[in-house]
């Protein structure tokens, strides 16, 4: 089996485009039920001396567990016993992990390939054309890094927008409070104007009553003076000479 893998890898190496050796090491999660196909893919990816960490899993449970680790890319067969590449892609999408997902299958129809790409797959390859494997993974990783950078920029923009929105909401709240205080002050001012008018009216009434009291007092004083004059006259007329 190892000799067969080496022979096939050697045949593909003469035609395949190498992954740039200057880049960082590659960590690949490989969903594949065939040990031979896994070894062949690993041999092709490591042919230029690039550091490669590649884990093969062949079940949904193992795939879910492996997603907890850090990977640069997911390479997946399309059909596996009791599992599939599309199901794995759905799990990856649901996990929130932003990883390139490349389907490598022995047979895949065009309609299935389109479905996979629409679901978020980065690329799809046939096992009969492994010369595309290395460059396809390289493109997928580069595209994913661009996507990460774009998402990070979008998140930063969204964060700035949310902060600005919160500041705007605070300003609106303060404006509403100021308007309410202004309405309260306007109401209080109107109440003061009404009180002042009422007090002015009451003061006018008091002044009027005071005037009436003064007039009444003058009249009473006149009557008293007249009565005293009559009393003095009576007393004077009755006095002995």
Query: What does the pLDDT read at residue 13?
Result: 47
Please enumerate in sequence order all residues whose Cβ is within 8 A of that of 17, keeping only pairs 6 or more positions apart, or say none.
131, 134, 135
Q: How many helices (H) and strands (E) does the chain have?
A: 6, 7
The token pair at 87 is 């199901």
Over its C-alpha atoms, the chain yields an Rg (Å, rounded) of: 50
Regions in the chain scoring below 70 on pLDDT = 1-24, 48-49, 151, 154-155, 210-211, 213-217, 231-232, 234-241
Kindly state the helix (H) or strand (E) to which residue 52 belongs, with its residue range: strand 52-57
Residue range 2-16, pLDDT digits in tens = 554 455 445 544 444
Residue range 109-147, pLDDT digits in tens = 778 888 888 888 999 888 888 888 888 888 888 888 887
**Positive/negative CA dihedral, 43, 45, 49, 55:** negative
Q: How far apart are CA 120 and CA 85, in angstroms?
A: 12
Order of all β-strands in the sheet with 26-31: 52-57, 26-31, 73-76, 101-105, 123-126
Residue at token pair 């705007």: 168
Exposed e or buried b per residue across 155-172, where buried means at least 16 C-beta atoms within 10 angstroms of its C-beta: eeeeeeeeeeeeeeeeee
Nearest to 130 by CA among 230, 17, 218: 17
CB 216: neighbour CB atoms within 10 A?
Answer: 10
CB 126: neighbour CB atoms within 10 A?
Answer: 15
């Amino acid at each position: 089996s190892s000799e067969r893998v080496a022979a096939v890898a050697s045949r593909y190496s003469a035609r395949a485009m190498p992954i740039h050796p200057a880049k960082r090491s590659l960590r690949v999660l490989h969903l594949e039920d065939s040990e031979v196909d896994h070894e062949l893919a690993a041999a092709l990816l490591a042919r230029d001396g690039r550091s490669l960490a590649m884990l093969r899993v062949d079940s949904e449970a193992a795939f879910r567990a492996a997603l907890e680790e850090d990977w640069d890319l997911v390479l997946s067969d399309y059909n596996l016993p009791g599992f599939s590449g599309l199901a794995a892609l759905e799990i990856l999408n649901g996990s929130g992990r932003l990883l390139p997902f490349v389907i490598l299958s022995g047979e895949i129809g065009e309609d299935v390939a389109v479905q996979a790409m629409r679901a978020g797959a980065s690329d799809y390859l046939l096992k009969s054309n492994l010369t595309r494997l290395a460059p396809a993974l390289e493109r997928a990783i580069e595209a994913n890094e661009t996507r990460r950078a774009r998402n990070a920029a979008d998140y930063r923009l969204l964060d700035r927008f949310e902060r600005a929105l919160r500041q705007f909401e605070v300003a609106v709240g303060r404006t509403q409070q100021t308007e309410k205080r202004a309405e309260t002050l306007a109401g209080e001012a109107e109440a003061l104007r009404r009180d002042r008018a009422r007090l002015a009216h009451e003061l006018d009434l008091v002044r009027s009553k005071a005037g009436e009291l003064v007039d009444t007092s003058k009249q009473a004083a006149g009557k008293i003076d007249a009565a005293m004059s009559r009393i003095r006259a009576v007393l004077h007329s009755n006095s002995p000479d």
